[in-house]
Amino acid sequence: MSKSASIQTQHVPSLEYPSRNQHDKNRRKCLIYFIPGNPGLITYYKPFFTILRRLVDETESKPDCRHAFHIYGQNLVGFQDGDHQPAFGTTTPEGRTIQPFLLEDQICHVSKSIQAVNASSGPFDEVIVMGHSVGSYMSLEIFHRHHLGLDASLKSVNLKAGILLFPTVTHIAQSGSGQKLDLIRTTPFLNAWAHQVAKGFVDLCPSWFLSTVVKKVMGFPEHAAQATLEFLASRDGIWQAIHMGKDEMATITDEKWSEDMWEIQDAEDEREGDGGPDAKFYFYFAQKDHWVADECRDEFIEKRKRHEKGSTRVVVDEGNTPHAFCIHHSEPVAERVKLWLDEISGN
């Protein structure tokens, strides 16, 4: 029998970029809560947040802007050794083995985190949830549960809109990389031992060699190289990433959300002057994404177009921005997000 570790909330790493107008009572306070992909390390996104903060500051400096944007993101749990106790693989006195966190565990933790940030740094008039990769799936699940009143931790939160970057929201196992990870999940030996084989290989490599591979061969800039090397050196990070990834393959299949979740229900959300509502969800897909099958992406987009009452914006990248945009391509994605934030807030 397996059991999840206990989350040490105070030790979950985070990045926070408050608005310089946060104390202006004439502005609507808006939280932009960011959910990372897998591996769930928020430091990968530091340049993205820095650029987005600068762009949002430009919006806030306009005379007619009445919003103050607070940017916040934190690790998914299990990727930092100090954020959980005991270590994965530990046998409890009851004979249970401590396992890494599943996708459901991550969703529940993020929901509680949104509420905690809303209580500690807010309260916020509006909350925009932004997710990358599997963080996009988690974002939609949070909206779904909020819409149906299934999550008590979100009752006091006003979820305004979702921004989904390189989203893996349906049939992830049909993607190029998904097929490989699903093979691990469905092969008994690999399913049981892949994380130990991977960790064993990494531990055999001297630190200078890993650093050379990450910085010189993979070409990672300093922020991404540091995050990757710390992840590889951690006790439980690799196991968490593989364990959660396998669960993603089994969980992210058919679209399971109610049709009315995509619709804006509150009349206050309607844009004055154009006779219709703002978008509720904003999707940014890559032209080619090794974690998103083209046919699944196209089917998802077509379904959103057919939903007459739905309110969704979809952009398919015209360049070659990769799935892992936070390594080298933070600026163009931040510029796109800034445009959407302006639309959401009416600035």
The pLDDT tens digits of the residues spanning 214-249 come to 999 999 999 999 999 999 999 999 999 999 999 999
**Euclidean distance between CA atoms 189 and 186, whole angstroms:** 9
- pLDDT, tens digit, 9 for 90 and up, residues 297-325: 999 999 998 887 778 999 999 989 999 99
What's the N-to-C CA distance of the chain in angstroms?
53
pLDDT at 277 over 60: no
- Token pair 């600068």 is found at 54
pLDDT at 271 over 50: no
Question: What's the mean pLDDT in 58-86?
Answer: 96
Q: Which domains does the chain have, with CATH numbers?
A: 2-173+254-345 (3.40.50.1820)
pLDDT at 2 over 80: no
Q: What is the mean pLDDT of the chain?
A: 93
What is the structure's pLDDT at 273? 39
Evaluate the CA torsion angle 127, 133, 136, 137 in order and state its sign: negative
CB atoms within 10 A of CB 259: 11
What is the structure's pLDDT at 266? 56
- Token pair 């959401």 is found at 344
Detail the DSSP E strand segments found in the chain: 2-4, 6-7, 14-17, 28-35, 67-74, 84-85, 97-99, 126-132, 159-165, 281-285, 312-316
- pLDDT above 90 as % of the chain: 84
Contacting residues for 128 by C-beta, under 8 A, at least 6 apart: 30, 31, 32, 33, 160, 161, 162, 163, 341, 344
